[in-house]
Structures are given as structure tokens and as C-alpha cells.
Structure 1
Amino acid sequence: MVRSALAAARAKADARGTEPGRRKFELSGQNPRRRRWSGPGPDARDPQPLGRLVGRLVSERGWQERVTSSRVFGEWARLVGEDVAEHAQPVTLKDGELTVRADSTAWATQLRLLQGQLIAKIAAKVGHGVVKRMRIHGPTAPSWRKGPRHVPGRGPRDTYG
């Protein structure tokens, strides 16, 4: 399996005209055999800021959608406010639908009422179209199902009261 992956990478690199794992160093309009020293102006060989390099890598690899959706999770408290972030956490973001888990049913109801405002806040800070809808869930009930075997019926709760 590894050999076939390596062969596929080599074939792809041959089609591009480069060796696998190596990028072709391109200088703007210079003869690669002639050695030139960098002058006082900007040059392709000069050190680049990390943010610019990461931005270029994201755009080359097509990771823009993943980066913008991960900003929703990473900056959740700043996007929706500290009060809301204290009681609600984002769970998933898929196809523009953000699933949020609230601490209590009261907070779930409050978030449903604030849903339009939250989507507008997120759109203003992250970008329009990243979050189109919100699905808000309250807390889950405790599971009474313990162990590998299960008997249908109410179980131990039928003796309460």
C-alpha cells in the first residue's frame, strides 16, 4: 500500500515536472545559473511573515472553508459574548448548520430566542454564509442503561414513588 502511494506521488510529481517533496525555487525573471545577491528591495528569497505564508498555504491547499469554520469554535466566547459562551458550547458545524449544546433547558430556550442575533454576530466577525442555521440542544438526561446486558422495560425506575 505504501509503495503504491509512493508510486502515485512520483507520477504526480513527474507530471508537474518536480521531485516529490521538493518545490521548484522560482526567481522572478532571473537566470537560475547566475547567482545574484539580494538588493535593498523586496525579493522572493527574503524571509516572509508567518501569517502571509500560512495564508498562502491555506489558499493553495483549499483549506479556506475549514479555517473559517474552525474560527467559530476557537473564538466562540468572543463571537457570542462571555455570558452566552459560559452556558453554551458549539458541537458541530456542517453545511452551514451550527449545533450548539446548552447547559440547561432555560438556556436552550433563551438561545433559540437569540438565534437570529447570534447568527448576525457570527456573520459579522467570521464571514457571511459560514453559519446559516443553528440547532440548539438542551442537556441530555442521564442514562439508566448500565452494563453489557439490557432488559426491555422501565427497569429500576418502576419502584420509585
Structure 2
Amino acid sequence: MTDISANLAAAASDTPETVATYLRLRGLQPSSKNWKRKRRTVVDDDNAPFSKGRDPGTLGDILDKLTRDSGWQATLAREDLVLQWAELAGADTAKHSEPVSMERGVLTVKCDSTAWAKNLQYMRGTILTEIGRRYPDAGVENLRFIGPDVPSWKWGPRVVPGRGPRDTYG
């Protein structure tokens, strides 16, 4: 037993008393190597206080980084395009038209009547240029304007071949 207490006393001279007590309670022998921690060496000065990059960022910057890293920019640009259609196409035009789908770079806009669809076809270049300027991430390459949905005459037990009625319903 005297050997153990001599070893403990020798190790205790280098080891702080709190660490030695903890090690004895755990049934371990304190040594001068065990308790010392290596100091972390600073590789770069980016972590120094008051250096650039240490201040918290603005919420807008953080959200921009999140959308960029997650790949949501195109989806959010399309959503903004739909939500801002009235501002983009004009208030009068927006009353009679609304974007309904976006597939393979083609934005489909549904209009109240075929006359509105035709007028918007004449304005296609202007609208497409404005979309490209405001929402470049949306990926809109072309516009398609459609008229109102019309009833189909091509179903039922007594279908007659042919094109059906010639009215445009709008």
C-alpha cells in the first residue's frame, strides 16, 4: 500500500487536487499527462474578435444565402412573377388575365376572352422583356395566351363527326 500512496503523492504534486480527487473516485491513478489539455492553435485570424465576418448578418442576407444554397431561386422567382402579375402586365390587363402554369420555359396565361388573348399576343415582346429584366431566375423563355375554357361538343351517345359550333364563346 505504501507504493500506491507514494505514486499518488508523486502524481498529486503535478496534478491539481480537484482532478486527483476525481480520478481517485473513479478508481484511476492521477498522472501529470492525463489532466493537461493541449491548447488549440489558431490557424487563421478569421476567428479573432472584431474581425470581418464576426458580426451577425442581416436576415435578408441569411435568407438569400439559404435560397441560393438550397436551389430555391428559380421556384421563388416564379412565385414572385405570379404574385406580381398585376404590376408586371398592368392593372387593367391583370383584371382580365392570370398566369396559370409554367412548363418547360413557357408561361401560360389564361385570359377572360379571346380578344384579350389576342391583344396580349401583340404585347408578348414587351411582357417577355419585362419578365426577363425583373425575374431572370424564373426561366421564362416564351409566353402562351389562351382564351376561356369552352364546353366540348365531342362527347355523348349522339356525337356527329365534324368541328362543332363555330362560336368563340368570348
What TM-score, normalized by structure 1, do the two folds share? 0.61
Tell me the residue number matched to 1:120.
Answer: 129
**Residue 136 in 1 paired to residue 145 in 2?**
yes
Quote the sequence identity (%). Answer: 30
Select the structure of larger CA radius of gyration.
2
**Residue in structure 2 matching 1:43, options 54, 64, 83:** 54
Distance 1:139 1:78 in 2: 22
Distance 2:152 2:68 in 1: 45
Compute the displacement of 1:41 (Å).
7.2
Q: Is the CA contact (8 Å cut-off) linking 1:96 and 1:131 kept in structure 2? A: yes
Tell me the residue number matched to 2:17.
Answer: none
Tell me the residue number matched to 1:108.
Answer: 117
Q: Is the CA contact (8 Å cut-off) linking 1:99 and 1:134 kept in structure 2? A: yes
Q: Is the CA contact (8 Å cut-off) linking 1:80 and 1:122 kept in structure 2? A: no
**Residue in structure 2 matching 1:93, options 99, 102, 123:** 102
**Residue in structure 2 matching 1:153, options 139, 159, 168:** 159
Distance 1:129 1:116 in 2: 17
Tell me the residue number matched to 1:12.
Answer: none
Name the amino acid aligned to 2:136.
G
Matched residues, number: 117
Q: Is the CA contact (8 Å cut-off) linking 1:76 and 1:85 kept in structure 2? A: yes
Following superposition of structure 1 onto structure 2, how do residues 2-41 of structure 1 map, counting pairs within 5 Å? Answer: 29-30=46-47
Compute the displacement of 1:71 (Å).
1.6
Compute the displacement of 1:112 (Å).
1.0
The structure whose residues are more often helix, as a share, is 2
Compute the displacement of 1:118 (Å).
0.9
Tell me the residue number matched to 1:4.
Answer: none
Name the amino acid aligned to 1:49.
T
Compute the displacement of 1:134 (Å).
0.7
Q: Is the CA contact (8 Å cut-off) linking 1:96 and 1:132 kept in structure 2? A: yes
Q: Is the CA contact (8 Å cut-off) linking 2:99 and 2:109 kept in structure 1? A: yes
Q: Is the CA contact (8 Å cut-off) linking 1:99 and 1:135 kept in structure 2? A: yes
Q: Is the CA contact (8 Å cut-off) linking 2:107 and 2:142 kept in structure 1? A: yes
Any gaps of 5 or more consecutive residues in structure 1?
Answer: 1-27, 31-35, 155-161
The alignment's C-alpha RMSD in Å is: 3.1
Find runs of 4+ consecutive structure 1 residues off by over 6 angstroms.
none
Residues 73-114 of structure 1, C-alpha deviation per residue, up to 9 Å, x if partnerless? 111111111111111100111221100000011101101111
